[in-house]
Structure 1
Amino acid sequence: MIGFDEALDRLTSVARPARRERVPLADAHGRVLAAPVIARLDSPASDTSAMDGYAVREADFAVPARLRVIGESFAGRGFDGAITDGQCVRIFTGAPMPRGADRVIMQEVVRRDGDLALFDHALGGGRHVRPQGSDFRRGDELLPAGRRLDPRAMVAAAGADVAEVEVHARPTVIVLGTGDELAEPGQATERPGTIPESVSFGVAGMARAFGAEIVDRLRLPDEPEVLEAAAAEALGRADLVVVTGGASVGEKDYARAMFTRSGLELIFSKVAIKPGKPVWLGRAQGRLVLGLPGNPTSAMVTARLLLAPLLAGLAGEPPDAALRWRPVPLAHDLPPCGDRETFHRAVWRHEGVEAISNQDSSAQKALAAAEVLIRRRAGAPAAYAGDMVETLAF
């Protein structure tokens, strides 16, 4: 059994993207760049006005002034001409500066009298002009490879005037839920002795949230032949197979054995964490396989701690991009930690985070209430209200 940090190190060593593709920018939100975005033009493309007002030649300007308005300049439709002595142009935010103009006087301090603009106030300090290329120049790298295209990055990519971007392919995932005791939700009440299969829904949802494409989600009985066939098929259809349940030592725990004939090689087996000790990671037929515990809370905690960074790496980001630990004060005391690193499910309070009362690994109602994980290192002493603890959004 290894520690959590070592498990992450081993996971990071194999979490590499496999494929690239070009996609239209309109379809690229949430994807990770496989190549940088390079600007195809200057921004702004010319000197432009930073506000609505009047474009003037500062060298010829003295207050009070009466300048003849010889035209208008709009964003996308500039004034086709030049300003000379005694002239100005009505201009609007984002419009190109007329030739000869080097300053914009805001409209609030200008009076109009027909085709004359009257300037009665001394000039302020600002020129209100955005110089050509002041944001970026043609050939500049606006976004590096490895950047996830969040809404802000989408703006920069579009501003670079690119219609397509090269991205890493979304990792494809198949989720296999195992166990004779499981019934499809809606059927458990009709089948005494069964429980609704819930874990695969949460795992699939988390995988989607971290950029995966869910190819399939299957519920399988504890029958070795069925499980082996399903494992072999899944390995041929997805980059990552996630199997839930059957991760302990019972005589019908087949989740790992179902991949044996496919040449399973373990990367790690069991991690010294609570909950989720039985979690494992392996490789078979060139594809990755992640085994999660069957208990709902254990499965979702280990998915957040290990599936999320694994998917980040497969999608082209550093795996630790999915693990943003944040120091936050405790709102309530915590007892000393045992010999396994522990991740308490917690909720936000005004004064910090508070562990929820039900920390059972099979809890589902309490799981739904949890908003954050509190990380407690093995052997850590008791922590008290106001102490800083490591937290991760859950």
Structure 2
Amino acid sequence: MASVLEVPCAATIGFDEAQAIVRTNSAPLGVEQVALHKAGRRILAREVAARIDSPRRDCAAMDGYAVRTQDLVRETNRLSLQGESHAGDTTPAPLYPGTAIRISTGAPMPQGADRVVVRELAHVEGDEVIVPRAQRSSHVRPRASDFACGAPLLQPGTPIDARAMVILGAADVDTVPVWRRPRVHVLTNGDELAAPGSAAQDSHTIPDSLSEALSLMARQWGAKPMGTWQSPDRADYLRAVTRQVLADADLIVVAGGASHGPRDLVREAMAPLGLELAFAGIAIKPGKPLWYGTIGKTHVLGLPGNPTAALTTARLFLAPLVCQLAGAGFNHALRWHPRRLIEPVGPVGDRDEFLCASTEDAQTGSPTGVRVLARQEASAQMMLAHADLLVERRAGSPATGEGTMVRCLRF
């Protein structure tokens, strides 16, 4: 991984260059072995191979009767019932010519039997079972037909979801090598901020609406949230909080204090702790004040304080950075896809724009297009309740008409 010191700092850079810097300066944090029941939603760090065959023996794929194909030569065949086989039983006694055993799904096949006649096609009379001529399917799962002991089953980089968990369990795996989750602290900055639920007591304050939202976004993309902090506009307090969390932080996310006003003190406060800036300011809208750097091995991402700008830039930078640190890869969070505009949008200025938008559904219920929301304000919050997509519009793009394809990212 390139050092942040090797990346030139610029007052304003482009969106693509900023993402390239973050991608280049981040990497998975390391591998740890965790118990299977704790591996959900983690990213596999090494290949996992099967410890046993699956199935472990030839077994029945249906409830019915285990038989020999050579005994089913007539339209109707009478076979002597010789016992039963259930899932979990030891292998039953060998099956001799002219005999059958009752068998359950998953039960071991007796030696000599090569097919199962499903229960619905047979009927029992006394100690005999009457079965028809051999059908096309044998209804037998041969040993190791799913996977064999030692076979590679899951590759590094696989997200461990419910499907992967089934495979790991079936492979008789009890611990799993995964990438370590990045530990994230969220710091919001501003004299005006109050904890939600307390702002009504003071008309000079507003609720801190970002701390828990950013912590949740980090967790959704694979991080381990370590706590949220509120700081007034004081460099000494900002520095003290940062020093306190550095011991167990892989990533510090700061919302507010990112611009150039007299009370935007975050970078100044962190400089004595060794902050090395990679960039400060991007030519995007919203989110121009975004900045990124490191303090030692800890990544620091500075977001705008306005809620929509903060959440938009978090989706574009925090989510992929967390994915990169957690082993899923930077682009795992950046799966852009095309949709058609429902309504025209105006021309774009000299900054790339990322517009809040909503999916529009046809009468069939299938998504067909995207509508850019009105009043694209960085400080707005209610708009986020309706925005499930971000629409990318590059700098200098002309007005775009209804039906035009645009690139979208799920918010």
What band does the TM-score fall into relative to the shorter chain?
over 0.9
| Structure 1 counterpart of 2:388 | 371
- Asked whether the 8 Å contact 1:78–1:97 carries over to 2, the reply is no
C-alpha distance in structure 2 between counterparts of 1:308 and 1:91, whole Å: 52
Q: Which amino acid aligns with 1:99?
A: Q
Q: Normalising by structure 1, report the TM-score.
A: 0.96
Task: Tell me if structure 1 keeps the 8 A contact 2:92–2:109.
Answer: no
Aligned counterpart, 2:126? 114
Task: Show the counterpart of 2:31.
Answer: 20
Structure 1 residue 357 and structure 2 residue 374: aligned? yes
Structure 2 residue runs without a partner (length 5+)? 1-11, 362-367
Matches within 5 A, 1:53-202: 53-63=64-74, 64-120=76-132, 122-202=133-213
Matches of 2:129 and 2:281, distance apart in 1: 78
Task: Give the number of equivalent residue pairs.
Answer: 393
SS at match of 1:9: helix
Q: Distance in 2 between matches of 1:208 and 1:261?
A: 29
> 1:226 aligned to 232, 237, 256, which one?
237
In the TM superposition, what is the alpha-carbon distance from 1:354 to its structure 2 partner? 1.0
Partner of residue 392, structure 1:
409
How far 1:285 moved relative to its partner?
Answer: 2.2
Letter in 1 for 2:185: I
CA distance in 1, matches of 2:177, 2:16: 32
Q: Relative to structure 1, is the Cα distance of residues 96 and 226 closer, same or farther in structure 2, using a 3 angstrom cutoff? A: same
Q: Measure how far apart 1:22 and its partner are.
A: 1.6
Deviation at 1:356, TM superposition (A): 1.5
Once the 2 structures are TM-superposed, how far is the Cα of residue 148 of structure 1 from its aligned partner?
1.4
**After superposition, what is the alpha-carbon deviation per residue over 1:134-189, rounded to whole angstroms, capped at 9, x for unaligned?**
11111111111221111111111111101111112211011111111112222222
- Residue 279 of structure 1 corresponds to 290
Tell me if structure 2 keeps the 8 A contact 1:346–1:371: yes
How far apart are residue 284 of structure 1 and its match? Answer: 0.8
SS in 1 for 2:266: coil
Supply the AA of the counterpart residue of 2:378: S
Deviation at 1:105, TM superposition (A): 1.4
Give how far 1:79 is off.
Answer: 4.8
Q: How far is 1:226 from its partner?
A: 1.2
Q: How far 1:243 sits from its partner (Å)?
A: 0.8
State the distance in 2 between where 1:154 and 1:12 align.
29
Distance, in Å, in 2 between the alignment partners of 1:336 and 1:124 is 67
1:306-385 alignment runs, 5 A limit: 306-350=317-361, 351-385=368-402
After TM superposition, the score normalised by the length of structure 2 is 0.92
Q: Structure 1 residue 38: deviation in Å?
A: 1.3
Does residue 23 of structure 2 align to residue 6 of structure 1?
Answer: no
Give the letter for the 2:203 counterpart. Answer: P
Deviation at 1:304, TM superposition (A): 0.6
The alpha carbon displacement at 1:78 in A equals 4.8
Distance in 2 between residues matched to 1:317 and 1:171, nearest whole Å: 12
Pair 1:384–1:50, CA change in 2 (3 A): farther
Distance 1:57 1:228, change over 3 A: same
**Runs of 5+ unmatched residues, structure 1:** none
Maintained 8 Å contact 2:29/2:181: no
State the SS of the aligned residue for 2:294.
Answer: strand
